[in-house]
Structure 1
Amino acid sequence: MENIRAASRPAVWLMVSIILVALNLRPSMAAVGPLLSAIRGDIPLSFSLASLLTMLPVMAMGLAMFFGIALGRRLGEQRTVVLSLLIIGVATVSRLFLDSAAELILSAIVAGVGIALIQALMPALIKSRFSDNVALCMGLYVTSIMGGAAIAASFAPLVMVRTDSWRMGLAIWAVLAFVALLFWLGQRSHAPALAAPTQRQASFFANSRAWLLAIFFGLGTASYTCVLAWLAPYYVEKGWSEQDAGLLLGFLTAMEVVSGLLTPAIANRSRDRRLVLVALLGLIIAGFVGLILIPQHLSLLWPCLLGLGIGGLFPMSLIVSLDHLDNPQRAGGLTAFVQGIGYLIAGLSPLIAGMIRDQLGSFEWAWWSLTAVMVVMIAMVLRFDPRHYAKHMR
Structure 2
Amino acid sequence: MNHTRPAAWLMLAIILVALNLRPSMAAIGPLLSAIRSDIPLSFTLASLLTMLPVMAMGLAMFFGLSISRRLGERRTVLLSLLIIGLASLSRLFIDSAFELIVSAILAGVGIALIQALMPALIKTRFADNVALCMGVYVTSIMGGAAIAASFAPLVMVQAGSWRVGLAVWAGLALLAWLVWCLQPAPAISRVTKRESFVTSPRAWLLAIFFGLGTASYTCVLAWLAPYYVEKGWSEQHAGLLLGFLTAMEVISGLAVPAIANRSRDRRGIVAVLLLLIIGGFCGLILVPQYLALLWPCLLGLGIGGLFPMSLIVALDHCDEPQRAGGLTAFVQGIGYLIAGLSPLLAGMIRDRLGNFEGAWWALTAVMVIMLLMVMRFDPRHYARYLPRPG
TM-score band (shorter)? over 0.9
User: In the TM superposition, what are the counterparts of 1:109-148 in structure 2 within 5 Å?
Assistant: 109-148=105-144
Other-structure match for 1:93: 89
Q: Does 1:19 find its partner at 2:15? A: yes
Q: Describe the SS at the equivalent of 1:352.
A: helix
Q: Specify which of 304, 307, 323 is matched with residue 311 of structure 1.
A: 304
Letter in 1 for 2:336: Y
Q: Does 1:66 find its partner at 2:53? A: no
RMSD after superposition: 0.6
Unpaired runs of at least 5, structure 1: none
Other-structure match for 1:80: 76
How far apart, in 2, do the equivalents of 1:24 and 1:298 lie?
Answer: 32
How far apart, in 2, do the equivalents of 1:54 and 1:46 lie?
Answer: 14
Q: Describe the SS at the equivalent of 2:184.
A: helix
Structure 1 segments, 4+ long, off by >6 Å, are none
Q: Specify which of 354, 378, 383 is matched with residue 376 of structure 2.
A: 383
How far apart, in 2, do the equivalents of 1:244 and 1:53 lie?
Answer: 22
- 1:30-66 CA-to-partner distances (Å, cap 9, x unmatched) read 0000000000000000000000000000000000000
How far apart, in 2, do the equivalents of 1:163 and 1:194 lie?
Answer: 45
Conserved in 2, the CA contact under 8 Å of 1:77 and 1:193?
A: no
Q: Does 1:53 find its partner at 2:46? A: no
**Offset of residue 134 of structure 1:** 0.2
TM-score, scaled relative to structure 1: 0.98
Q: Does 1:373 find its partner at 2:366? A: yes
**Offset of residue 185 of structure 1:** 0.7
TM-score, scaled relative to structure 2: 0.99
User: In the TM superposition, what are the counterparts of 1:1-394 in structure 2 within 5 Å?
Assistant: 3=1, 6-189=2-185, 192-193=186-187, 195-197=189-191, 199-394=192-387
**Offset of residue 188 of structure 1:** 2.8
Letter in 1 for 2:352: Q
Q: Describe the SS at the equivalent of 1:25.
A: coil
How far apart, in 1, do the equivalents of 2:237 and 2:4 lie?
Answer: 43
Pick closer, same or farther for the CA change 1:387–1:300 going to 2, 3 Å: same
Q: Describe the SS at the equivalent of 1:187.
A: coil
Q: What is the percent sequence identity of the aligned residues?
A: 79
Q: Describe the SS at the equivalent of 2:265.
A: coil
How far apart, in 2, do the equivalents of 1:244 and 1:177 lie?
Answer: 26
Letter in 1 for 2:187: A
**Offset of residue 194 of structure 1:** 5.2
**Offset of residue 266 of structure 1:** 0.5
How far apart, in 2, do the equivalents of 1:85 and 1:370 lie?
Answer: 32
**Offset of residue 193 of structure 1:** 3.1
How far apart, in 1, do the equivalents of 2:49 and 2:111 lie?
Answer: 14
Letter in 2 for 1:181: W
Conserved in 2, the CA contact under 8 Å of 1:17 and 1:183?
A: yes
Q: Describe the SS at the equivalent of 1:270.
A: coil
Letter in 2 for 1:195: S
- 1:166-207 CA-to-partner distances (Å, cap 9, x unmatched) read 000000001110000111111234xx235223x311100000
How far apart, in 2, do the equivalents of 1:222 and 1:317 lie?
Answer: 13
- 1:116-145 CA-to-partner distances (Å, cap 9, x unmatched) read 000000000000000000000000000000
How far apart, in 2, do the equivalents of 1:122 and 1:367 lie?
Answer: 31
How far apart, in 2, do the equivalents of 1:276 and 1:230 lie?
Answer: 27
Letter in 1 for 2:301: L
How far apart, in 1, do the equivalents of 2:362 and 2:98 lie?
Answer: 29
Unpaired runs of at least 5, structure 2: none
Conserved in 2, the CA contact under 8 Å of 1:84 and 1:115?
A: yes
Pick closer, same or farther for the CA change 1:194–1:309 going to 2, 3 Å: farther
Conserved in 2, the CA contact under 8 Å of 1:76 and 1:193?
A: no
How far apart, in 1, do the equivalents of 2:363 and 2:216 lie?
Answer: 6
Conserved in 2, the CA contact under 8 Å of 1:17 and 1:184?
A: yes
